Amino acid sequence: MESQKQHTPVYSCEFFPPRTERGVEKLRTTRERLAQLNPAYFSVTFGAGGSTRDRTFETVTEIHRSGLEAAPHISCIGSTRESIAELLHNYREQGIRRIVALRGDMPSGTRDVGEFRYANELVAFIREETGDHFKIEVACYPEFHPQARDAEADLDNFARKVEAGADAAITQYFYNADAYFHFVEQAEQRGVTVPIVPGIMPIINFKQLARFSDACGAEIPRWLRKRLEACGDDKVAIQALGHQVVADLCRRLLDGGAPGVHFYSMNQAGPVERLWADLDLPR
């Protein structure tokens, strides 16, 4: 993984936009704690078909006003070129310089995909509209997108996003380091040389994680699933095992040349703080 080692490591965290005033206050506290770790940026997710668009915008601009770098997710499925252009203009006016560009999921009960079918079209449109103003991150899937025809097609889709102008990629979460290393190798064989940063999901709630994983196609290895199941409802035991497993995964990835880590925080500070400390990441 020499080409990945050449990139300056980037450590970042992801939030989801809160739905309630109580959630807003909780996220402020989480953000203030994680800001002490000095991550490169905080990304903020975006709901299907723009269902959280306003909340994403409010969360991103608040983070930015506090002096931290924020990167909104922009999902293009079900959107028009005009609506995306307006969103880009608004973020540019706010001083945002980084975007996570995604295809997104179709809103339930909707068949109109909008004017963009794939994320590479969104990346190309952002470049057409804004030039090099934004640093663009895209998603990739070491264990392959659940809707991809096959592994080769998924890798080809990823390469198209990079060719369209993406600067870097963040992976779906995974717990098998070999899947990441193999994916990077296959991507590089297609000429992809941008940083491919592993997305890391701390293990906080096993039942919730199992639901997420079934929905998005991320694999929980059989040995890990069995050990977590054996913990039953013992949250302390689940989180202790999860921390050990995820910390070991991160060490192997970073030792193997991964260009940083992107933590899916689930709007919780503690698990990320513990991993950051154990991994002795820079602050």
Instruction: Check: CB of residue 220 under 8 Å from CB of residue 210.
Output: yes
Q: Is 86 a catalytic residue?
A: no
Largest Cα–Cα separation, the chain: 52
Please give the Cα distance from 60 to 71 (Å, whole number).
7
Length of the chain: 283
Give the Å distances, CA to CA, from 261 to 3, 8, 9, 14, 113. 16, 12, 8, 11, 32
Buried-state track 172-204, b at ≥16 Cβ within 10 A, e below 16: bbbbbbebbbebbebbeeeebebbbbbbbbbbb
Give the Å distances, CA to CA, from 47 to 77, 78, 110, 278. 10, 11, 14, 32
Q: What is the DSSP letter of 230?
A: H
Which of 2, 14, 32, 69 does the annotation list as catalytic?
Answer: 14
Give catalytic residue positions: 14
